[in-house]
Amino acid sequence: MKITEQLWRLQELEEQLKEANSQKKIFVGGKEIQGNIQEHKNLKRQYEETKLSIDTKKIDIKRLEQLLEDMNAKKEENRGNLYGGKINDLKQLGILLKDQEKMEAEVSEIEKELLRAIELLEEYEKNSEETYDGERKLGSQIKKMLSDRQKNIETVEKTVEDLTHQIEEIKALISKKEMELYEYIKTRKNRPVAQINEDICTGCNMDVPLMTITLLRKGEIATCDNCGRILHKSE
Q: Kindly write down the DSSP assignment for every residue of 116-161, as one continuous string.
A: HHHHHHHHHHHHHHHHHHHHHHHHHHHHHHHHHHHHHHHHHHHHHH
Euclidean distance between CA atoms 35 and 41, whole angstroms = 10
Claim: this prediction has a pTM higher than 0.85: no
* 3-class DSSP assignment, residue 107: helix
Can you give the pLDDT at residue 2? 86
Residues linked to residue 5 through DSSP beta bridges, in sequence order = none
Q: Kindly write down the DSSP assignment for every residue of 165-210, as one continuous string.
A: HHHHHHHHTS-HHHHHHHHHHHTT-S-SEEEEETTEETTTTEEPPH
- What is the pLDDT averaged over residues 220-226? 94
Can you give the pLDDT at residue 29? 85
CA dihedral 95, 99, 100, 103 (to 10 degrees): 180
Can you give the pLDDT at residue 181? 96
Cα(first)–Cα(last) distance of the chain, in Å? Answer: 11
Can you give the pLDDT at residue 172? 95
Query: In 3D, which of 186, 132, 182, 143 has the Cα closest to residue 18?
Result: 186
Can you give the pLDDT at residue 85? 67
Can you give the pLDDT at residue 99? 86
Percent of the chain with pLDDT over 70: 97
Can you give the pLDDT at residue 111? 95
Whether residue 17 is predicted with pLDDT greater than 90 in this model: the reply is: yes
Q: Identify the structural domains of the chain with CATH numbers, from first to last.
A: 3-173 (1.10.287.1490), 177-232 (no CATH)
List for the chain the helix, strand, coil content (%; round to 5).
Answer: 75, 5, 15
Euclidean distance between CA atoms 147 and 234, whole angstroms = 43
Whether residue 30 is predicted with pLDDT greater than 90 in this model: the reply is: no
* Per-residue pLDDT tens over the stretch 87-138: 677 777 788 888 889 999 999 999 999 999 999 999 999 999 999 999 999 9
* Per-residue pLDDT tens over the stretch 177-221: 999 999 999 999 999 999 999 999 999 999 999 999 998 888 889
* 3-class DSSP assignment, residue 11: helix
What does the DSSP 8-state code read for residue 63?
Answer: H
Report residue 235 CA to chain centroid gap: 48
* Per-residue pLDDT tens over the stretch 141-189: 999 999 999 999 999 999 999 999 999 999 999 999 999 999 999 999 9
- What is the pLDDT averaged over residues 62-70? 96
Can you give the pLDDT at residue 90? 75
CA dihedral 30, 31, 37, 41 (to 10 degrees): 150
Q: How confident is the model at residue 77 (pLDDT cuts 50, 70, 90)?
A: confident
